[in-house]
Chain A
Amino acid sequence: MKTTKTVMLTAAAAASVFALAACGSSGSNTSSGNSNIDCASGSIKASGSSAQKNAITDWINAYQEACEGATIDYQANGSGAGIQDFINAQTAFAGTDAAAKDKDLDAATKRCASGPAINIPMVGGAVVAAYNVEGVDKLVLTPKTLAGIFSNKITKWNDPAIAADNQGTKLPDANIVQFHRSDSSGTTANFTDFLSQAAKADWTYEPGKEWAAPGGQGAKGTEGVTSAVSSTANSIGYVELSFAQDQKLKTATLKTAGGEVEPTSENASKAIAEATVVGSGNNLALELKYDTAAQSAYPIVLVTYELTCEKGLPENQLGLTKSFLTYTSSNDAQKQLTEIGYVPIPDSLLTKVQDAVKAIS
């Protein structure tokens, strides 16, 4: 199945390469309009993570508006497929939810003619616990109670464990209706990674893209969970921040070692700042610190990367790829992320990102 798909993609991509080979690319350095984009022209393809799709789409629109003669096509076909496409030299960069490593990174490096393939953190996100309980406008949960709720050990809203952190709030004597993702999802992976690190004793299930805990109800896709929570009384579910904001769902405040934190883009960005770089050189693969004690850092975060060649991209892809990534890692572009519910890369890390992009040649 997979091979057929690849073959078809190959054929399609080959056709477009022929069609576009004539265009080539040249750094024409014309900043146009009011944005300071160092434009390049030409045409590139990219594919991968659907988690960063909205951010990339917004950026592509802004970039193409400013730069005439540039076409960037991003297909949100999933991180795994995106990395495969990149390895098969179908795309100029791949979007991925988890930094490519080991076998994948080796294969990607092989694809790059003369240099290593690198993971560049570009778009951050946050996963929030959205709830629907009438009369409760602020809900404070610890990682421990969160793990209890999602593993079906805490089943009532007025459970003493929840009440302890919410003094002064009248919690209903009702069953908790818990929603998780029924499909495989990076959101589930991040959420369960967080639980298994920040609430080790209470979350004993395998973290990963598949939901492994008992009980609760599954709904398909972030949209499914969002609509289930908004239409079901006394429910709670985990969704990406942008969806909770869109649907105006109430979101739980998290009580970490650093105090109570609200799930906002700003606070999530502070948690990303706590991550350590585990990649070497310009490969900025990160290890997130889910149990951070930093003040007002919201720790349920994810970072999505762009995987590309530090050196050795084909000549006709190089200019536009570098120019586009320079734009997306600019302060202006990162600032836009907050408006659509994503999380900007924190300044401390962003300078490294910008250096890594500069090194692309």
Chain B
Amino acid sequence: MNGDKVFFGLSRAAGVFVLLLTLGIGVFLAVTAVPALRENTANFFTTQQWLPDANPPAFGIAALAFGTVMTAIIAMVLAVPVGTGIALFVAIYAKPTLGKVVAFLVDLLAAVPSIIFGLWGLEFLMGNMIGVSAWLDTWFGWIPLFANDQDVYTRSIFIAGVVLAIMIIPTISAVTREVFVQTPQGHVEAALALGATRWEMIRMVVFPYSRPGMISAAMLGLGRALGETIAVALLLSALFEINWHITEPGGNTFAANIALKWNEAGSIGLSALVASGLVLFLITLAVNMAARLIVARKRDFVEGH
């Protein structure tokens, strides 16, 4: 009886603690951001330059928000199909022994620190991706997104997106794999017994059952992509302009910008960086809440079956 009370108290304290922590971070960001926002002479949301320590200070997050969202979208477009594919292979197609090896390798990839990805992207991938970017420009240049008027293909949003994709593939595939494995064996065997091919079985049984988990996995990956700092800071050209030509040098993200400017920032500069951090905080909060909503709805659907 007493043990129950103590344990209830402990777990409630833990729950409240998390809540206070999140709230505390939010309040800290907001309070610290106020001085810069007050001094700012430009529109915080639509300005594309970042000169908070200039006189008068003028800075905005338009370019940062664009770069953050764009790199994350590219990363998701590339990483979700590949990550899901790996998970399917490991969980369903591969022989157990081979599957274990692949799963192990993917988990190993997840443990690589992001600075390593950044250096690898900068020193190896960037030079070797020039051909791919140029090819996109040559054949798909009629789509504004892939056009490149500068004929320079390095330090672009596209390359940052590719490196981010490689970084989040392990996260996505590890979680989806766990979900795929949970598919009730009875359902799987029933589908196969009814004459479904493997692909039909996956489409009709595994995917519907796993959808909430797959979405959670994608959101975990998205969270990492949005917040990734050092790899992006090394790779991007950090220009403060919105450029839809994703293979041209340019782009900047919230997290990378904070890492690049923090050391030498003056008092208004620091406060401005915190303000941009607050926006990133709110974006990730919104993304997570949206994901939870979707997952909750899908789960009802699956469990209702």
Cβ A217 vs Cβ B154 within 8 A: yes
Q: Is A14 in contact with chain B by the CB < 8 A criterion?
A: no
Chain A residues, Cβ within 8 Å of B54: 206, 208, 210, 212
Q: Is A231 in contact with chain B by the CB < 8 A criterion?
A: yes
Cβ B150 vs Cβ A218 within 8 A: no
Chain B residues, Cβ within 8 Å of A78: 263-264
Q: Is A15 in contact with chain B by the CB < 8 A criterion?
A: no
User: Would A175 and B151 be within 8 Å (CB), given that A184-B261, A218-B238 are in contact?
Assistant: yes
**Segment touching A, from B45-53, B74-82, B137-145, B162-170:** B45-53
Partner of A1, one of B49, B234, B264, B274: B274
**Segment touching A, from B5-13, B200-208, B265-273:** B265-273
Interface size on B (CB < 8 Å)? Answer: 30
Interface size on A (CB < 8 Å)? Answer: 27
Partner of A208, one of B51, B233, B236: B51
Cβ B49 vs Cβ A224 within 8 A: no
Chain B contacts with A in 187-226, Cβ cutoff 8 A: none
Cβ B241 vs Cβ A214 within 8 A: yes
Chain B residues, Cβ within 8 Å of A2: 267, 270
Cβ B264 vs Cβ A185 within 8 A: yes
Instruction: For A231, give the chain B residue with the smallest CB separation.
Output: B127
Q: Is A137 in contact with chain B by the CB < 8 A criterion?
A: no
Q: Is B279 in contact with chain A by the CB < 8 A criterion?
A: no
User: Would A209 and B151 be within 8 Å (CB), given that A1-B32, A218-B237, A224-B234 are in contact?
Assistant: no
Partner of A210, one of B51, B150, B155, B234: B51
Q: Is A232 in contact with chain B by the CB < 8 A criterion?
A: yes
Q: Is B152 in contact with chain A by the CB < 8 A criterion?
A: yes
Instruction: For A79, give the chain B residue with the smallest CB separation.
Output: B264
Chain A residues, Cβ within 8 Å of B23: none
Cβ A183 vs Cβ B127 within 8 A: no
User: Would A218 and B155 be within 8 Å (CB), given that A184-B265, A210-B53, A212-B51 are in contact?
Assistant: yes
Cβ B270 vs Cβ A210 within 8 A: no
How many A-B pairs have beta carbons closer than 8 Å: the answer is 75
Chain A residues, Cβ within 8 Å of B127: 231
C-alpha spacing A288/B127, complex, angstroms: 40
Q: Is B92 in contact with chain A by the CB < 8 A criterion?
A: no
Cβ A183 vs Cβ B263 within 8 A: yes
C-alpha spacing A220/B160, complex, angstroms: 14
Q: Is B132 in contact with chain A by the CB < 8 A criterion?
A: no
C-alpha spacing A80/B269, complex, angstroms: 12
Cβ B53 vs Cβ A209 within 8 A: yes
C-alpha spacing A214/B49, complex, angstroms: 10
CB distance from B221 to the nearest CB of A (A): 25
User: Would A175 and B236 be within 8 Å (CB), given that A1-B274, A78-B264, A183-B260 are in contact?
Assistant: no
Cβ B49 vs Cβ A217 within 8 A: no
Q: Mark A199-222, 1 if CB is under 8 A from B, else 0.
A: 000000010111010111111100
Chain A residues, Cβ within 8 Å of B237: 182, 216-219
Partner of B150, one of A175, A182, A214: A175
**A-to-B contact residues, CB < 8 Å:** 1-2, 78-80, 175, 177, 182-186, 206, 208-210, 212, 214-220, 224, 231-232
Residue pairs across A and B with Cβ atoms less than 8 A apart, 16 shown, are A1-B270, A2-B267, A79-B264, A175-B150, A183-B233, A183-B260, A184-B260, A184-B264, A210-B50, A210-B53, A210-B261, A212-B51, A217-B239, A219-B155, A220-B233, A224-B234
